[in-house]
Structure 1
């Protein structure tokens, strides 16, 4: 720790952040146990534990160290071991003026009812007035507000995501629907007018008839012909249509053969590649409106959700009093250790970075397993991990696996090998 921080610190000055309540209690217990065992080792002057023995070799005054460790052990009940949400809540309340949290707000642990109510309101406003044909398209995707909420749930938590290709602000469901129907009808008309031409084009081309035989060709054309004669009531396209896309036909042309080329094939390709859906428009509108509705209702009730605490602290740190707030937190916790750092998302790292990065007389230690930074379902973000790795001054790698032993690994490998090795009885064929 001396390399990470220049002076001895008390337990109250050390912040430890992890990502579940269960982990905070486990960490608190493990830290207390290690402090106790090291204190006993200092009193005895020796230890069977290799780690404690290495530490003892670096401690000049073991009696003084034992006194310091005893004090730390007694302070562990008050140690700052928090979840990320618990840390944000404590910092907002302790620094109410700097964070702008001058009014007490009640913590709400479950926002699911608020989200459902907001989603049901959105459904009534936007789906009830729809014409029958558009309502049928929506109903194919979501039967009601509960289904819509399932699709939206991950985007209603945490920081609002930035859409890569947001729909036009004023685009309506009716406008999008008419555009899609018009595109489909346009291809249907072109098909009816040009289908007679493509039979000759296909016949005189270098198609590999093992991959595109004439029998299947006739069946596919019959299905597309029937579809082209129907009134367009949905966005569903027949599976047979892709058989007449230009890229599909090119892939089934013999090497060196002349591929079949026709404007109708290109038109089919274009339609198949286009976005024939209302889903992105509904999700984009619903995400914004539901998040706003939930936020308004929480403000009206004087409530604050877990994710709100992160957002409030993040906003406060970027506001006019942000440096004052960051300085107050650093004075309270000059050293911070972030456990399970691979589970950190961009907003959480932005908070830690704003407070401790490149600040004199402070230390920020990020502890995590990069191999687990791929688990996005747990909130992990590999790009956040990579950014942090580029930010820090020093990297340390744990090159010893302390969670298992050579004997355990040998047994595990043996079990795996026996599970995948086929056994051969005298009555079966010999194994090769």
Structure 2
């Protein structure tokens, strides 16, 4: 396996096979992608080119957000128009476009200009979309092969479904419990919203979680027992070390110095702690 990293040359980058481009933010990924797009449109690349020029509906480009999709489409459209002008003889300071034109025989310049112009006019039909939008399109177009519905609904957020699942679970598992048992649940999660908030970070780790050894109520009761035992042990340690007595003396000394309002935290209140 070849792990060598080469400097990217967008004019000689292979247009067939598999390749990985690694780049950080602001290094010109969109600029490079647009130039590779031009090369596919004019069938540039010699032996590494496709057998025929490609049109926008035949070139798949996927990204992450709708905003990035719109920006990418407009950047590529503008690049196509600019390149078409260069191949028609317009002056340009873009050295890459000049080099691209020089690598094609002069008798192919007008052909390339026509292909670039046609591609720019066809960009509204380009296969540039988000990953989820592309998957949605494929499932819809190949419903028989994928076994999916003929009119699937694209959901870009799971929040509403997660909220409904949390409320359904709360209603089925907790709403019919006796008052004393329900009090244990509410002590952990006061509402379905808080239940979802605590459970949500675990949803993408379900494969790593073991099956619970008991019902949800049994787990809560076990947790309450463990917490009560830990608190009892902590209280016993405080009594053994006379931490409470030390704290009481600190409060008494602070009261003499009027460090706090005695009416709001009097001796009776402090004894209760």
> Which category describes the TM-score, using the shorter chain as reference length?
0.5 to 0.7
Query: Displacement of 1:43 after TM fit?
Result: 1.0
For the residues of structure 2 that align with 1:190 and 1:15, how far apart are their CA atoms? 63
Task: Choose which of 116, 122, 134 in structure 1 pairs with 2:163.
Answer: 116
For the residues of structure 1 that align with 2:201 and 2:149, how far apart are their CA atoms? 30
Deviation sequence 1:246-289 (CA, Å, 0-9, x none)? xxxxxxxxxxxxxxxxxxxxxxxxxxxxxxxxxxxxxxxxxxxx
Q: Secondary structure at the match of 1:44?
A: coil
For the residues of structure 2 that align with 1:147 and 1:120, how far apart are their CA atoms? 11
Q: Which runs of no fewer than 5 residues in structure 2 stay unpaired?
A: 1-10, 17-47, 248-273
Aligned 1:389-400 pairs, distance under 5 A: none
For the residues of structure 2 that align with 1:67 and 1:150, how far apart are their CA atoms? 56
Deviation sequence 1:310-339 (CA, Å, 0-9, x none)? xxxxxxxxxxxxxxxxxxxxxxxxxxxxxx
Aligned 1:18-417 pairs, distance under 5 A: 18-44=63-89, 46-60=91-105, 61-101=108-148, 103-107=150-154, 112-130=159-177, 135-153=182-200, 161-178=205-222, 180-181=224-225, 184-185=228-229, 188=232, 217-219=241-243
Query: Displacement of 1:153 after TM fit?
Result: 4.6
For the residues of structure 2 that align with 1:22 and 1:85, how far apart are their CA atoms? 14
Contact 1:19–1:83, Cα closer than 8 Å, also in 2:
yes
Q: Counterpart of 1:238?
A: none
Contact 1:46–1:56, Cα closer than 8 Å, also in 2:
no
Q: Secondary structure at the match of 1:17?
A: strand
For the residues of structure 1 that align with 2:71 and 2:238, how far apart are their CA atoms? 71
Taking only aligned residues, the RMSD between alpha carbons, in angstroms, comes to 3.5
Query: Displacement of 1:188 after TM fit?
Result: 3.9
Deviation sequence 1:379-408 (CA, Å, 0-9, x none)? xxxxxxxxxxxxxxxxxxxxxxxxxxxxxx
Q: Secondary structure at the match of 2:60?
A: strand
Deviation sequence 1:103-145 (CA, Å, 0-9, x none)? 4334456665444333222112222344556544433443211
Contact 1:134–1:174, Cα closer than 8 Å, also in 2:
no
Query: Displacement of 1:183 after TM fit?
Result: 7.3
Contact 1:46–1:53, Cα closer than 8 Å, also in 2:
no
Q: Counterpart of 1:3?
A: 14
Which one scores higher on RCO, CA 8 angstroms, separation ≥ 6?
1
For the residues of structure 2 that align with 1:195 and 1:25, how far apart are their CA atoms? 64
Q: Secondary structure at the match of 1:162?
A: helix
Closer, same or farther in 2 for the Cα pair 1:186/1:101, shift >3 Å?
A: closer
Q: Which runs of no fewer than 5 residues in structure 1 stay unpaired?
A: 200-216, 224-432
Q: Secondary structure at the match of 1:12?
A: helix
Q: Spell out structure 1 runs of 4+ moving beyond 6 A.
A: none
Q: Secondary structure at the match of 2:61?
A: strand
For the residues of structure 2 that align with 1:86 and 1:171, how far apart are their CA atoms? 39
For the residues of structure 1 that align with 2:63 and 2:57, how far apart are their CA atoms? 17
Contact 1:120–1:145, Cα closer than 8 Å, also in 2:
yes
Question: What is the TM-score with the length of structure 2 in the denominator?
Answer: 0.59
Contact 1:127–1:135, Cα closer than 8 Å, also in 2:
yes
Q: Secondary structure at the match of 1:4?
A: coil
For the residues of structure 2 that align with 1:36 and 1:43, how far apart are their CA atoms? 11
